[in-house]
Structure 1
Amino acid sequence: MNLLRAAATVSSFTLLSRITGLARDIIIARTFGAGALTDAFWVAFRIPNLLRRLFAEGAFAQAFVPILGQVRTEHSEQPEAIQVLLDRVAVTLFVALFVITLIGVIGAPWVVMAMASGLTSPARAAEFDAAVWMTRLMFPYIICMSLVAFASGVLNTWRKFAIPAFTPVLLNLSVIGSSFLLAGRLEQPIYALAIGVMVGGIAQFTMQWWALSHMKLRPRLLTPIGPALKDPTVRRIMRQMLPATLGVSVAQISLLINTNIATWLTPGSVTWLSFADRLMEFPTALIGVALGTVLLPSLSKANADPDKTQYSQLLDWGLRLVLVLGLPAALCMILMADAMVATLFHYGAFTGADVMQTRTAVMAYSAGLIGLLAVKILAPGFYGKQDIRTPVKIAVAVLLCTQLFNLALVPWLAHAGLALAIGLGACLNALALYVGLRRQGIYQPGAGWTLFIAKQCFALLCMAVPLWLASQHIDWLALQGTPFLRIALLAAVLGVSVFVYLLGLALVGIRPRHFRRAPR
């Protein structure tokens, strides 16, 4: 199987998603700046987004995809058995999330207090009320996205990667459209963003449900809940979801703590972190998420093979590709952070001071980029064997370490300390997962790693030269009045740097063909 081609498909649509997401954030920055009400929107959006990752995409995919792949293999001649499982899993997920959404809408003030206690002071009452209103409006978003996660799991299991990777574009387009069409018509313009989020969630659900219908795999949500809860396979998925939810919740709890701390810092801190996180999503999604998405079904299939060498070779392939693509991305983020932030966001209400504050957060996040990417490869090494408990134990320990990093770094670096703590925590997570896979004999590094890393270092040194020269000789803030020149300069610098990096790889003998196909 050509895993590189599958990963490239996911990356291509994910790139489109991230570009439209970046356009969305540019419009938000230009229109609303980095102020108190913008912070209120990001707080409100983070709550359903957090629950979506907690109950849907992360935990659900980790528990559902390996079991669905196994059921599909065992019942390949019985499509009705697969359909019954899809019906029962979907209705169970829907009912559970409906109850959670109802509780969230009613208890929105208390949820916001827990998420952003810095907004509870009397001086920030308007921001608190805005966050509560937007939280209530966007809470049903998790129902849509949970069903989208379900559909994505089915489509990815059937090797249909394109539509799940494309649908996030609809969310970004909806928010952009709402910003233009509704912001000027509402008493509180920031509410247009929340409306756009809900419209985008419904659009994503509609497209993925249509894709399942086209494949004759659409579940029937009117299935009785009683038999679904008694189904042994559904129960097995739920049992797997419990540790998976705990594992995902560790990362989300860390994010919750960081958001809460940021609301106590200078107004705008939540927004600076959100925009820095948007830049980091490009490499993490294009590389880490894409590789993780195509690896998990392949690992689940390889786990059923009596010959276990392919399982280790798949992980080795993923880690090498992470370094080849992730290290130059980290280098660009560190040396060109001010250039990227200024070129993308330095317009309208987003000031030069906001650029500098966002820049420090980008550089801090970059320190942990390889860790963030490696986790996307190493964690599926456990999930493919239906071992979710080990990554959970590691994640709990990493959470504790991350908070210790916060204690040390936030007083010194403010909001950038929060970003650096997340990056260092990701590196610890990746290291612990790597050690765990080695100790259990799941992963054995292939031959030639030392030489491979040495070749990488040569290519990275070549790439650093044009990046460093550009960072020293171009004043990116001064180019605000000539945005097209600034965009052209950034594109030229990045283009030359990538060319030099690829040339360096070619000189030391690393070729694309070395990563094109999965190990056999």
Structure 2
Amino acid sequence: MKSLVFKNFIINALGILFSRILGLARDVLIALFLGAGLYSDIFFVALKMPAFFRRIFAEGAFGQSFLPNFVKAKKKGAFCVSVMMQFSLIVFLFCLLVSFFSSFFTKLFAFGFNADTIALAAPLVAINFWYLFFIFLVTFLGAILNYRQKFFITSFSAALFNLSIVIAAFFVDKNAPQNTLYYFSYATVLSGVAQLVLHLLVLKNNPVIRAMALSVKFKKAKAKLQGFYGNFFHGVLGSSATQFSSLLDTTIASFLMSGSISYLYYANRVFQLPLALFAIALTQVSFPKILKHLKSGQENLALKFMQRALALLSILLIASSIVGSVFALEISKLLFERGNFTHEDSVITAYVLIAYLIGLLPFGLQKL
């Protein structure tokens, strides 16, 4: 069992590592073309909005509430269809709402932006927000894959988002930053479509998908979701605090000098590498195994498994914090200092990165 868990952890970590390497390439190109200023601030706000709701509703509360209730469900096909249809409709309508009132939502997230900046950012917010709809479906299908102990596709598929931005960068002109924003925004939405298609192709012969199809065919797609929604809303409350603190960072930064939002973004991207590579990868592998122990009444095994995972994760995160803090400026210069990204931008980003790394251990442990 230990070797299987370790193997799954390594496979998942490799998929995430590949995605993060592409992510760093994406951020290098964004820094090259947009630097740290008005246009990069606008793009990061437009990107942050769907990411904010994705982390609360899709990856956070949804992921934590779906699997336990899915395991308990007697009619798994009907349960999945009910969840997918109800949530898809809710997310679709929410995306429409944001598209129609994009100026209001932009002001809500970046209250310090002036009227001219809001006017530039609002259309981009309307475009980028549709990424949330596709990524919810990806999260739903990814949860089914994780239950079947198939981790690589879900972790690898995130690389398609980064790859889309990298490809879009070949078509942009660094002297036309406003056009660059639209290229990157449409690439973001198309990456969500690509991730969805990839998951559908992988899952086409999955027994859960076949059960879902039969439930729809025989009109037996209704299932009781009270337990699921109870867990979901508790999960929303639990994950909201962290995300709202992140939102507060952006809101405060929008009142500061131009580029402040970008400094937070670039530093956070580096901070997210050990967090994703160790904390998220280990959590995704551990959670299904812990659930199966609990379902079979083996609480002691579940507890021992959790303790080992916490010990391993603590060692990895402490080491990452020390190394990252010592070499913060070198990391910032190596990754971002080229094109429109100056040495002064590197220094500020390094200070922000050190501040982020202070919280890496507690932030990573709460993921498990």
State whether TM-score is above 0.5: yes
Cα shift readout 1:134-154 (whole Å, capped 9, x = no counterpart) = 110111111100000101110
Pair 114,29 (structure 1): closer, same or farther in 2 beyond 3 Å: same
Between 250-259 and 25-34, the greater mean CA deviation after superposition = 250-259
CA distance, structure 1, for counterparts of residue 215 and residue 189 of structure 2: 23
C-alpha separation between the residues in 2 aligned to 1:51 and 1:227? 31
Distance 2:254 2:104 in 1: 16
Counterpart amino acid of residue 135 in structure 1: V
1:403-449 deviation digits (Å, cap 9, x = unpaired) = xxxxxxxxxxxxxxxxxxxxxxxxxxxxxxxxxxxxxxxxxxxxxxx
Q: Which amino acid aligns with 1:306?
A: G
Does residue 1:4 correspond to 2:6, yes or no?
A: yes
Q: Structure 1 CA distance, aligned partners of 2:298 and 2:251?
A: 48
User: Amino acid of the residue matched to residue 280 of structure 1?
Assistant: F
Q: State whether residues 68 and 157 of structure 1, in contact with CA within 8 Å, keep that contact through their aligned partners in structure 2.
A: no
Output aligned runs, 1:195-344, within 5 Å: 195-218=186-209, 219=212, 231-232=223-224, 234-344=225-335
Cα distance in 2 for residues equivalent to 1:83 and 1:222: 6
Matched, 1:63 2:82: no
Give, as a single letter, the amino acid of the residue that structure 2 aligns with 1:28: I
Higher RCO (C-alpha 8 Å, min separation 6): 2
Query: Alignment partner for residue 141 of structure 1, among 127, 131, 136?
Result: 131
Q: Look up the equivalent residue of 1:282 and give its one-letter code.
A: L
2:92 to 98, 104, 107: 98
TM-score, normalised via structure 2 length: 0.93
SS at match of 2:313: helix
Is 1:38–1:271's contact at 8 Å kept on the other side of the alignment? yes
> Deviation at 1:201?
0.8
Give the letter aligned to residue 324 of structure 1: I
Paired with 1:95 and 1:8, the residues of 2 have a C-alpha distance of 36
1:421 alignment counterpart: none
Measured after TM superposition, the shift of residue 52 of structure 1 is 1.3
Q: Structure 1 residue 118: deviation in Å? A: 0.9
Q: Residue 324 of structure 1: CA displacement?
A: 2.3
Alignment of 1:446-461 (within 5 A): none
Instruction: Tell me, in whole angstroms, the C-alpha distance in 2 between the residues paired with 1:57 and 1:216.
Output: 23
Q: Secondary structure at the match of 2:149?
A: coil
Give the direction of change, closer, same or farther, for the CA distance of 1:342–1:9 in structure 2 (3 Å limit). same
The Cα shift of 1:314 comes to 1.1
CA contact under 8 A between 1:87 and 1:221: conserved in structure 2? no
CA apart distance, 1:164: 0.3
CA gap 1:165/1:128 in 2 versus in 1, 3 angstroms: same
Q: Report sequence identity in percent.
A: 28
1:117/1:263 contact within 8 Å kept? yes
Q: Check whether the contact 1:276–1:362 (CA below 8 A) recurs between aligned residues.
A: yes
How far apart, CA to CA, are the structure 2 residues paired with 1:94 and 1:116?
27
Indicate the residue corresponding to 1:178 in structure 2. 168
Q: What secondary structure does 1:25 align onto?
A: helix
Shift of 1:35: 0.6
Shift of 1:223: 5.0
- Number of the residue aligned with 1:360: 351
What residue is the counterpart of 2:151 in the other structure?
A: 161
Distance 2:260 2:100 in 1: 28
Distance 1:273 1:342 in 2: 15
Q: Note closer, same or farther for the CA distance 1:187–1:40 as it changes in structure 2 (3 Å cut).
A: closer
Where 2:208 maps in the other structure, the secondary structure is coil
**Structure 2 CA distance for aligned equivalents of residues 216 and 311 of structure 1:** 27
Residues 153-182 of structure 1: CA deviation (Å, up to 9, x unaligned):
100011011100100110001011112124
Decide which of 42, 51, 54 is 1:52's aligned counterpart. Answer: 54
Aligned mates of 2:339, 2:172 — CA distance in 1: 19
- Go from structure 1 to structure 2 and tell me whether the alpha carbon gap of 1:303 and 1:268 turns closer, same or farther (over 3 Å shift): same
The answer for the alignment partner of 2:42 in structure 1 is 40
Structure 1 portions without partners, runs of 5+: 76-80, 378-520
Task: Please state whether the residue corresponding to 2:180 is helix, strand or coil.
Answer: coil
Q: Equivalents in 1 of 2:353, 2:166: separation in Å?
A: 24
Is residue 2:177 matched to residue 1:191? Answer: no
**Residue 186 of structure 1, CA deviation:** 8.5
* Matches of 1:205 and 1:311, distance apart in 2: 33
Do 2:78 and 2:215's aligned partners in 1 also have CA atoms closer than 8 Å?
no
Closer, same or farther in 2 for the Cα pair 1:269/1:223, shift >3 Å?
farther
Counterpart of 1:29 (choices 28, 31, 37) is 31
Residues 188-220 of structure 1 show CA distances to partners (whole Å, capped at 9, x for unaligned) of: 222211111011111011111222213243355
- Taking the aligned partners of 2:8 and 2:192, their CA distance within structure 1 comes to 25
SS of the aligned residue for 1:188 comes to: helix
Give the letter aligned to residue 45 of structure 2.
V
Q: What is the TM-score with the length of structure 1 in the denominator? A: 0.67
Match of 1:444 in 2: none
| Other structure's SS at 1:306 match | coil
- The Cα shift of 1:84 comes to 2.1
**Residue 307 of structure 1, CA deviation:** 3.6
Cα separation, 2, equivalents of 1:139 and 1:164: 21
Q: What is the aligned-residue RMSD (CA, Å)? A: 2.0
Taking the TM superposition and a 5 Å limit, the aligned residue runs for 1:485-500 are: none
Structure 1 counterpart of 2:223, which letter?
D
Q: Does the 8 Å contact 2:172/2:183 carry over to 1?
A: yes
Comparing 214-223 with 321-330, which one deviates more in the overlay?
214-223
The whole-number CA distance in structure 2 between the counterparts of 1:191 and 1:276 is 24
Max Rg structure: 1
Counterpart position of 1:110: 104
Decide whether the 8 Å contact of 1:176 with 1:196 is kept in 2.
no
Aligned length: 362
User: Could you tell me how far apart the structure 1 residues matched to 2:71 and 2:23 are?
Assistant: 31
Alignment of 1:454-493 (within 5 A): none
- Of stretches 48-57 and 197-206 in structure 1, the one that deviates more from structure 2 is 48-57
- Equivalent position of 1:387 in the other structure: none
Q: Indicate if the aligned counterparts of 2:32 and 2:340 stay in contact, CA closer than 8 A.
A: yes
Alpha-carbon separation, structure 1, partners of 2:69 and 2:213? 20
